Structure 1
Amino acid sequence: MLFPIDTAAVIRDGGAVGRSPADLHEAVAWWLGACHVATQRTSVMAVAHDGHPVSRRFADSLLSGAINAEHYACLVRDLGIQSEETLVQALTAGAIPGAYLTADGEATNCLIRITLYDRRAVPVDEETGLAEVRRRIAEDRVPIPVNARSKGRVVRTLGDHGEEATP
């Protein structure tokens, strides 16, 4: 990772938590997205955030990482601004993993929390993927696509109007 982080300190409690930019930066979200897809071995997941400008930036980075995970060609459903409860309902209905991002504070000293969920819509713990995500990031194991066909795509959910693929 270009700007290393203290993985043991920030990758905990079901995902990652820390101050941006001191503890976490947007590249960490990319890594979390890619590693979460790889450790959950999924080809579909959903992501939502609270609408804060910082969580929105981190969500965009996480989406980019999730579509660039090894051979999974993951279809990532970008739910945009939603409550965590709404995301959990979507995960439960689809039996898919996901991520929820929140931020609190000013852009220069913002507490960011990225919660990773498994297929049961439960935050991941050490046994269900968090330890593996932390290890991959600490060892700088880039989970990039193995070939062009392996790259996934983001689909933005447009409420009752369906979905729109993003390039």
Structure 2
Amino acid sequence: MLNPIDPEVVIRDGGAVGRFPGQIHEGVAWWLAACLVVTQKATRIAVAHDGHPATTAFANSFCRGAINAQHYACNVHYLGHQTEDRLLLTLKDLRGVPGAWLSVDDPGNDVTVHIRLYNRQGNLLDDTNGLAEIRRLIAEDRVPLPVNAQAKGTIEPWHPLLTNGDRL
């Protein structure tokens, strides 16, 4: 595994949490996304972030990991800079689509990245509904890789619905 992490320390609290740089790096987002797609058997996911420069980079890596997960040809609905509540509403609107919310705590120079993963029901992952399996895949260096170019998914900008049904 290139740039190893301590999965027991980092893969927790609904996804991944760690100091950047140090405990976590953009590759972790790629790994999490590929594992989320495979463990949830997802052909579509939604991804949003808080707009911080670090989470923008992590979100881009997350999207690339999702579209390259084995044979799933996952379509990523990329919301970009949105609130976590907006992501959760979008997951509900998309009916049965897992997702991820990326954010940071940035007190001074100590950036902590949070990647929160949600299942098809919009519930935060925990050790009973997918997080333990993702942790195991990463710990064993069994991150799902693409099987061929035809299995590659797509990333498309997604604009959440307003309350009247129009898009933002």
Distance in structure 2 (CA, Å) of the matches to 1:25 and 1:106: 18
User: Which moved further from structure 2: 139-148 or 115-124?
Assistant: 139-148
Instruction: Give the match's secondary structure for 1:127.
Output: coil
Q: Deviations over 1:46-65 (max 9, x none)?
A: 00000000011100000000
Structure 1 residue 107, shift from structure 2 partner: 8.9
The match for 2:90 is 90
Alignment-derived partner of residue 13 in structure 1 = 13
C-alpha displacement of 1:8: 0.3
Q: Supply the AA of the counterpart residue of 1:91.
A: L
Q: For residue 105 of structure 1, what is the aligned residue in structure 2?
A: 106
Other-structure match for 1:73: 73
Conserved? CA contact 1:103–1:112, under 8 Å: yes
Distance, in Å, in 1 between the alignment partners of 2:109 and 2:24 is 12
- The AA in structure 2 aligned to 1:149 is Q
Q: Secondary structure, in 3 states, of the residue corresponding to 2:33?
A: helix
1:38 touches 1:72 (CA, 8 Å); kept in 2? yes
The aligned length equals: 162
Residue 108 of structure 1 deviates from its aligned partner by: 5.5
Paired amino acid for 2:61? S
Q: Distance in 2 between matches of 1:29 and 1:36?
A: 10
Evaluate the alpha carbon distance shift between residue 68 and residue 110 of structure 1 in structure 2; reply closer, same or farther with a 3 A threshold.
same
- Compute the displacement of 1:7 (Å): 0.2
Equivalent residue runs for 1:3-152 within 5 Å: 3-94=3-94, 95-105=96-106, 109-152=110-153
Cα deviation for residue 142 of structure 1 reads 2.9
Unaligned runs of 5+ in 1: 163-167
Deviations 1:133-154 (A, max 9, x none): 1011111113111121111110
SS in structure 2 at match of 1:77: strand
TM-score by length of 1: 0.92
2:106 is aligned with what amino acid?
G
Paired residues of 1:45 and 1:75 also in contact (CA < 8 A): yes
Structure 2 letter corresponding to 1:127 = T
Q: What does residue 153 of structure 1 align with?
A: 154
CA contact (8 A) 1:20 1:107 kept: no
Q: Secondary structure at the match of 1:8?
A: helix
Q: Output the CA distance in 1 between the equivalents of 2:65 and 2:32.
A: 7
| Contiguous gaps of at least 5 residues in structure 2 | none
Normalised by the size of structure 2, how large is the TM-score?
Answer: 0.91
* SS state at 2:128 partner: helix
Structure-2 change in CA distance of 1:121 and 1:159 (3 Å): closer
Distance 1:41 1:158 in 2: 24
